[in-house]
């Protein structure tokens, strides 16, 4: 759920690739990308999960030599202060250049033992905290939707939720894809010569017709590859993946969805 400041962040940056669904979702994403050049937008031909969307975006970005760092944002999340959150993203972008592994995952401070969220168990600390910047830890383990009793233990131990906001060098993520999903990586790499040509759309359509669906989070869950950045502070976070959480968030911010207010 992007608010005005996040939309401005996207429109003011030099290059954004948004891998989006076709006409069924167009009314929702069009206002957010209204100032983004059409050449920077990928319209997916079918829903094949987030792995395909992220990979095709990375391949297109790899053609732009001046683009070395990418940020990946799940759009089913609510951020109470996205201005503060984007400051953490900017700090992660700066940190990536100094890390030996060029991938950073942002955690979110857990405010309750939520068993329907993903959690991050940090390992050793890699960097020291600075003014307005949290330390960075290597990831020890991902925990996806743990048992409620385990979630309580994570909460008491101060483990962060997994925001799945990833900041990384483009090349590092492409190498990750090549390692953990080599078949998908090879099949997508075939269309590299077609990117940014009149044949790109047809090439992507044929590619999507024959590729299985896979979520990026599931693909990398066993990799334990990233560096976990200290959890951003001053940011209220809600995962809107369930209708009950969506309605609870609407109530908390004292707003109503349009379909209720227009009745």
Contacts of 70 (CB under 8 A, 6+ apart): 17, 57, 58, 61, 167, 168, 169, 170, 173
Secondary structure of residue 103 in the 3-state scheme:
strand
Contacts of 128 (CB under 8 A, 6+ apart): 135
pLDDT in tens, the chain (263 residues): 333 344 444 444 545 555 555 556 777 777 777 777 777 777 777 778 888 888 988 998 888 766 788 888 877 666 667 777 787 788 888 888 777 667 888 888 888 898 888 888 888 887 777 666 677 888 888 888 899 999 999 999 999 888 888 888 899 889 989 988 888 899 999 888 988 888 888 888 888 888 888 887 766 654 444 445 554 555 666 666 666 666 666 666 666 666 555 55
For residue 128, what is the domain's CATH number?
3.90.550.10
DSSP 8-state assignment for residue 133: B
Secondary structure of residue 210 in the 3-state scheme:
coil
The distance in angstroms from the start CA to the end CA of the chain is 23
pTM of the model: 0.75
Domain count, the chain: 1
Secondary structure of residue 229 in the 3-state scheme:
strand
Give the tokens for residue 134.
Answer: 């949290």
Query: What domain range is 35 assigned to?
Result: 4-261
Q: Report the candidate in 30, 46, 55 with the shortest Cα–Cα distance to residue 183.
A: 55
pLDDT of residue 155: 92
Q: Report the candidate in 143, 135, 99 with the shortest Cα–Cα distance to residue 229.
A: 135
Question: For residue range 205-225, what is the model confidence (pLDDT) as tens digits?
Answer: 888 888 888 887 766 654 444
pLDDT of residue 153: 95
Burial environment of residue 108 by CB neighbours within 10 A (0 to 12, 13 to 18, 19 or more): buried
């Amino acid at each position: 759920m992007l608010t005005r400041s996040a939309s401005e962040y996207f429109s003011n940056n030099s290059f954004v690739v948004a891998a989006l669904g076709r006409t069924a979702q167009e009314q929702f994403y069009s206002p957010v990308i209204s100032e983004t050049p059409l050449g920077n937008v990928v319209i997916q031909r079918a829903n094949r999960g987030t792995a395909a969307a992220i990979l095709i975006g990375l391949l297109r970005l790899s053609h732009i030599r001046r683009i070395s760092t990418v940020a990946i944002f799940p759009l089913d999340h609510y951020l109470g202060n996205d201005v503060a959150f984007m400051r953490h993203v900017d700090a992660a972008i700066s940190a990536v250049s100094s890390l030996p592994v060029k991938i950073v995952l942002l955690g979110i401070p857990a405010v309750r033992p939520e068993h329907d969220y993903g959690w991050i168990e940090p390992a050793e600390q890699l960097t020291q905290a600075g003014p307005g910047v949290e330390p960075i830890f290597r990831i020890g383990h991902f925990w996806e939707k743990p048992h409620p009793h385990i979630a309580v233990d994570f909460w008491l131990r101060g483990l962060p939720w997994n925001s799945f906001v990833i900041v990384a060098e483009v090349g590092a993520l492409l190498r990750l894809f090549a390692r953990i999903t080599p078949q998908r990586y090879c099949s997508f790499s075939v269309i590299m010569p077609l990117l940014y040509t009149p044949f790109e759309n047809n090439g992507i359509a044929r590619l999507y017709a024959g590729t299985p669906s896979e979520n990026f989070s599931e693909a990398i869950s066993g990799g334990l590859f990233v560096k976990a950045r200290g959890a951003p502070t001053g940011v209220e976070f809600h995962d809107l993946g369930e209708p009950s959480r969506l309605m609870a968030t609407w109530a908390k911010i004292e707003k109503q969805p349009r379909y209720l207010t227009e009745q």
